[in-house]
Amino acid sequence: MIYREAGQFKTTYRADQAVFPILQDRIAILLILAVAFIGVPALASDYLFLAILIPFLILSMAAIGLNILVGYCGQISLGTGGFMAVGAYAAYNIALRVPELNLLIVFLLAGGCAALVGVLFGIPSLRIKGFYLAVATLAAQFFLDWLFSRVGWFTNYTASGSVTAPQLKFFGYIVHAPTGKYLLCLCLVTVAAVVAKNLVRGRLGRSWMAIRDMDIAAEIIGIRPLQAKLSAFAVSSFFIGVSGALWAFVYLESWEPLAFDINRSFSLLFMVIIGGLGSILGCFLGAAFITIMPIFLNQVPAALGIPLSTATVSHLEFMIFGALIVFFLIVEPHGLARLWAIGKQKLRLWPFPH
Amino acid sequence: MKLSRISAIAAVAMTMPLAVVGEAAAQNEQFIPSLVYRTGAYAPNGIPFANGVNDYMAMLNDRDGGVNGVKIVLEECETGYATDRGVECYERLKGKGPTGAAAVSPLSTGITFALTEKAPADKIPLLTMGYGRSESADGSVFSWNFPLLGTYWSAADILIQHVAKKGSLKGKKIVLVYHDSPYGKEPIPVLQDHAKKHGYTFEPIPVTHPGVEQKAVWLKIRQGRPDYVFLWGWGVMNSTSIKEAAAVNYPRDKMYGVWWSGAEPDVLPAGDGAKGYNALALHPAGTVYEVHKDVFKHLYDKGKGMAKRDEVGHVLYNRGLINAMLTIEAIKTAQAKFGKKPMTGDQVRWGFENLNLTAAHIKALGFDGLVSPLKVSCADHEGARKARIQQWDGKQWVYTTEWIEADTKYLRPKMEAAAKAYAAEKKIEARNCAKQS
């Protein structure tokens, strides 16, 4: 009833090709942005900012990056944690060696470094596909892990191999409060999402999808696999690198290579799969599911006043979380984003199904 | 239809915990967070420690009604030894209770590093007893860190002192098998530096988290036949190392663990293979101490203890007791200055900095024989830097040496230099300790 596009005529191609062609969607997205930019900073507590929203936003950005590679270009990667580490250590080294540089530029350069490394490790994708590629990207993960824990230069020869981020200083203003950090992440993630959404709608995105759907056919209609695949690796790694820098600088503030180990790669891949392959919205849904759900499950018994031991609570957390993953994958193998799309379809007809 | 109902219930359930988090707490309570790991690869070591902390606080509540009449409220949060979950736990618990968290013991070097950046802003002291950042012993830079009883640099120094006493180290070979994390890497600079001084060759060999795969490491050791192997492991890594050492027949009595590699869960899985293995000891195991009598009387006789009765007195359980006791004594010290009410993190920090546990005081607390006297000051946040060597005889840990004290004259300048470098990097101004009261 509310969600109906009847009467919304598109008279130009421009209107027809808009990101959100339906008026209601545009209103909804504006409302969400307003809540995120104005409502949340006004209301949320420090805990919500520092422990929930900031990691959620940063990992959403990483998921967007990975989704470009896996969801849009069809190249499975298990090296995400490694590329995040490249971003984090690149940002650390740039900020350390060129301290007068604005941090925003540092983050972008860190993304650039990650993109370069991504392209390098993307080269095998021209010859190998599917599971074999996944194994090849695992090599990236392990190599980068090894590099950052063994080569002292990257950690400025700190004894323990753990490095600390410098102060978050932008244009002479030090971001210290949780709200400031949140807004910083939110701005960057919003920009990333807009850029990603437009990339995948354009020529580049369409060439990625053609490669994903059938690479030989794509090649025949004139898409160069080399450029398509490597550009997917580059763009994907860029986003992942920036998110790695944010994860290190804004969330952890002091980190070691273990923060970007293979588990990080897996959890990001799960985010993308559960959220929905080939969907920007799915990245946010998946990131929310994988990061927030365990923390939420961990707090339910205490909030309901059920006295359980800490060990039982975390065992329950694992069990319920695992069951939920299986549940969602059975209900909708195409991910949470697909569930949402089905919901929207139903809503168009509601309450008159005919 | 069905799905929408499920999602409606989920949505309602979703909002609940977030709403209840801000629940008002009673006024006369001291809130103490406890970051634990009762699951995962490090659980065998995390559980007894957490039980010890919990039991000491519960015993105080039962025996004395808390600390100077202020009830202690302890809340556990499972970190699984993961840094990001540890940060989440810290954020979750830091503001609870009427005065916020009194002190945080992260029980993970990785989490300690992350919280070192966050605690000063929140004004919460970090108690990292026997672990954490070694240079944080310099309190003039690290105002909020308290690596009481010893740092890893002290531990490395003590081990070298011990083996050097057995004969000159010139031309000898020492291998460090370490957990590949900041924890395991901490002792390396001191061991390298000593290598130059004593003339031994030093080889560090990393073991990847969680440390169940060590075949290659021990094959290398079998080929190299080092004179001593130092073990800097945690969780399942320790028992795996000892088992592998037995498998390649490396003499266990040439192996020395740090104090985190010298507890029952480390040697018991290796069975007879662990016989002769040495480790540093910060304190003894056993239940013959006064404090255990109270723990049994007030908790286990009433069926309220956290651990199994026969696990009370294990090395890490006792360490949990000591960790809890130090936190409480810091609160008491603070209360002596600021009044007998719940203390804020800032006040507890003052308490830690002015902590002075004399032998008589320790005896009164029932820790006689468990803890040696320590005195913390602005410049020295370590308090004491002594350990003994213990050996596993197949059934229990037996002391083989007297107390060995780390060489302050040698370590202090290194610590100060490292702390100064940190201060320069973070643009922190060091406090002038001469002016601190």
Question: Closest residue of A to B3, CA-based?
Answer: A331
Average pLDDT over residues A174-189: 92
Question: Per-residue pLDDT for B326 more than 90?
Answer: yes
The answer to whether position A89 is within a domain reads yes
**Would you tell me which residues 125-144 of chain B have a C-beta closer than 8 angstroms to some C-beta of chain A?**
133-134
CATH number for A311:
1.10.3470
Band of pLDDT at residue B206, cut at 50, 70 and 90: very high
Q: What ipTM does this complex have?
A: 0.87
Separation of alpha carbons A160 and B110, rounded Å:
10
3-class SS of residue A288: helix
B420 in reach of chain A (CB within 8 A):
no
A195 in reach of chain B (CB within 8 A):
no
Asked whether B339 and B333 are in contact (CB, 8 A), the reply is: no
Separation of alpha carbons B40 and B56, rounded Å:
24
A56 in reach of chain B (CB within 8 A):
no
Separation of alpha carbons B370 and B96, rounded Å:
32
Q: Tell me the pLDDT tens digit for each residue of B223-232.
A: 999 999 999 9
Separation of alpha carbons A26 and B236, rounded Å:
54
Separation of alpha carbons B399 and B420, rounded Å:
37
Band of pLDDT at residue A161, cut at 50, 70 and 90: confident
Asked whether A85 and A148 are in contact (CB, 8 A), the reply is: yes
| Long-range pairs of B404-409 with CB within 8 A, sequence gap ≥ 24 | B404/B158, B404/B161, B404/B162, B405/B158, B406/B150, B406/B153, B406/B154, B406/B155, B406/B157, B406/B158, B406/B161, B407/B157, B407/B161
Give Cα B270 distance to the centre of its chain. 23
Separation of alpha carbons B386 and B155, rounded Å:
8
- Overall domain count for chain A: 1
B84 vs A contacts (CB less than 8 Å): 55, 251-252, 259
> What's the first-to-final CA gap in chain A, in angstroms?
13
User: What's the mean per-residue pLDDT of chain B?
Assistant: 89
CATH topology assigned to domain B27-150+286-379: Rossmann fold (3.40.50)
Q: In a 10 Å sphere around its CB, with 0-12 CB exposed, 13-18 middle and 19+ buried, how is residue B200 labelled? A: buried
State the residue for tokens 């309450």.
A351
- Judge: B427–A315 Cβ closer than 8 Å, yes or no: no
Q: Tell me the pLDDT tens digit for each residue of A222-258.
A: 999 999 999 999 999 999 999 999 999 999 989 988 8
Would you give the DSSP letter of residue B310?
Answer: G
3-class SS of residue B234: coil
Average pLDDT over residues A139-161: 89
- Judge: B188–A298 Cβ closer than 8 Å, yes or no: no
Domain chopping of chain B, boundaries = 27-150+286-379, 152-281+389-410
Element (H, E) at B174: strand B173-179
Peptide linkage before A351 cis (omega within 30 of 0): yes
Question: Per-residue pLDDT for B6 more than 80?
Answer: no
Question: Closest residue of A to B188, CA-based?
Answer: A159
Predicted local distance difference test score (pLDDT) of residue A169: 83
Asked whether A80 and A268 are in contact (CB, 8 A), the reply is: yes
Element (H, E) at B386: strand B386-392
Element (H, E) at B203: strand B201-207
The answer to whether position A16 is within a domain reads no
Q: Tell me the pLDDT tens digit for each residue of B376-433.
A: 999 999 999 999 999 999 999 999 999 999 999 999 999 999 999 889 888 888 888 8
A46, B108, B386 from A249: Cα distances, Å: 17, 20, 37
- Judge: B114–A298 Cβ closer than 8 Å, yes or no: no
Average pLDDT over residues B171-186: 92
Burial code (b: 16+ CB inside 10 Å, e: under 16) for A102-112 equals: ebeebbbbbbb
The answer to whether position A32 is within a domain reads no
B234 vs A contacts (CB less than 8 Å): none
Predicted local distance difference test score (pLDDT) of residue B1: 38
pLDDT: which is higher, B212 or B209:
B212
The vertex-B319 CA angle with B317 and B320, nearest 5°, equals: 65
Asked whether A112 and A245 are in contact (CB, 8 A), the reply is: no
Taking the CA atoms of B1, B6, B7 and B13 in sequence, report the sign of the dihedral they define.
positive
The answer to whether position A239 is within a domain reads yes
Residue B166, number of CB atoms within 10 A of its CB: 10
The answer to whether position A14 is within a domain reads no
B109 vs A contacts (CB less than 8 Å): 160
Q: Tell me the pLDDT tens digit for each residue of B35-70.
A: 999 988 899 999 999 999 999 999 999 999 999 999
Give Cα B327 distance to the centre of its chain. 12
* Architecture, CATH, for domain B152-281+389-410: 3-Layer(aba) Sandwich (3.40)
Predicted local distance difference test score (pLDDT) of residue A199: 95
Question: Per-residue pLDDT for B18 more than 70?
Answer: no
A251 vs B contacts (CB less than 8 Å): 84, 87
A176 in reach of chain B (CB within 8 A):
yes
Predicted local distance difference test score (pLDDT) of residue A10: 87
Q: Tell me the pLDDT tens digit for each residue of B95-128.
A: 888 999 999 999 988 899 999 989 999 999 999 9
Q: Tell me the pLDDT tens digit for each residue of A106-146.
A: 999 999 999 999 999 999 988 888 889 999 999 999 999 99
The answer to whether position A230 is within a domain reads yes
What residues contact B89, with CB distance under 8 A and at least 6 apart? B33, B35, B77, B78, B79
A160, B123, B172, B251, B255 from B225: Cα distances, Å: 27, 49, 10, 10, 12
Q: In a 10 Å sphere around its CB, with 0-12 CB exposed, 13-18 middle and 19+ buried, how is residue A268 labelled? A: buried
Average pLDDT over residues B262-266: 92
Question: Per-residue pLDDT for A65 more than 90?
Answer: yes
Separation of alpha carbons B164 and B162, rounded Å:
5
Testing the interface with B: which of A160, A252, A268, A293 to mutate, by most B Cβ within 10 A?
Answer: A160
State the residue for tokens 């988090």.
B21
The answer to whether position A37 is within a domain reads no
List, in sequence order, every beta strand (DSSP E) within chain A: 163-164, 169-170, 173-174, 254-255
Domain hosting residue A171, numbered range: 48-349
A17 in reach of chain B (CB within 8 A):
no
Q: Tell me the pLDDT tens digit for each residue of A80-103.
A: 999 999 999 999 999 999 988 899
**Minimum mean pLDDT range among A96-105, B12-21, B299-308:** B12-21
Testing the interface with A: which of B36, B74, B84 to mutate, by most A Cβ within 10 A?
Answer: B84
Rg (CA), chain A: 21
Instruction: Locate B211 and state its tokens.
Output: 């440390």
3-class SS of residue B73: strand
Q: Tell me the pLDDT tens digit for each residue of A260-288.
A: 999 999 999 999 999 999 999 999 999 99
Band of pLDDT at residue A173, cut at 50, 70 and 90: confident
Band of pLDDT at residue A75, cut at 50, 70 and 90: very high
Band of pLDDT at residue B437, cut at 50, 70 and 90: low
Fold matches, B27-150+286-379 and B152-281+389-410: yes
Predicted local distance difference test score (pLDDT) of residue A131: 87
For A221, phi then psi, to 5°, come to -85, 10
What residues contact A29, with CB distance under 8 A and at least 6 apart? A20
Predicted local distance difference test score (pLDDT) of residue A5: 78
For A307, phi then psi, to 5°, come to -80, 105
Predicted local distance difference test score (pLDDT) of residue A352: 74
B180 vs A contacts (CB less than 8 Å): 149, 258
- Judge: A161–B117 Cβ closer than 8 Å, yes or no: no
The vertex-A194 CA angle with A263 and A275, nearest 5°, equals: 40
3-class SS of residue A244: helix
Question: Closest residue of A to B182, CA-based?
Answer: A160
Q: Tell me the pLDDT tens digit for each residue of A12-60.
A: 998 888 888 888 889 999 999 999 999 999 999 889 999 999 999 999 9
**Minimum mean pLDDT range among A15-19, B21-25, B73-77:** B21-25
Asked whether B53 and B74 are in contact (CB, 8 A), the reply is: yes
A46 vs B contacts (CB less than 8 Å): 91, 95
Q: Which amino acid is at B276?
A: G
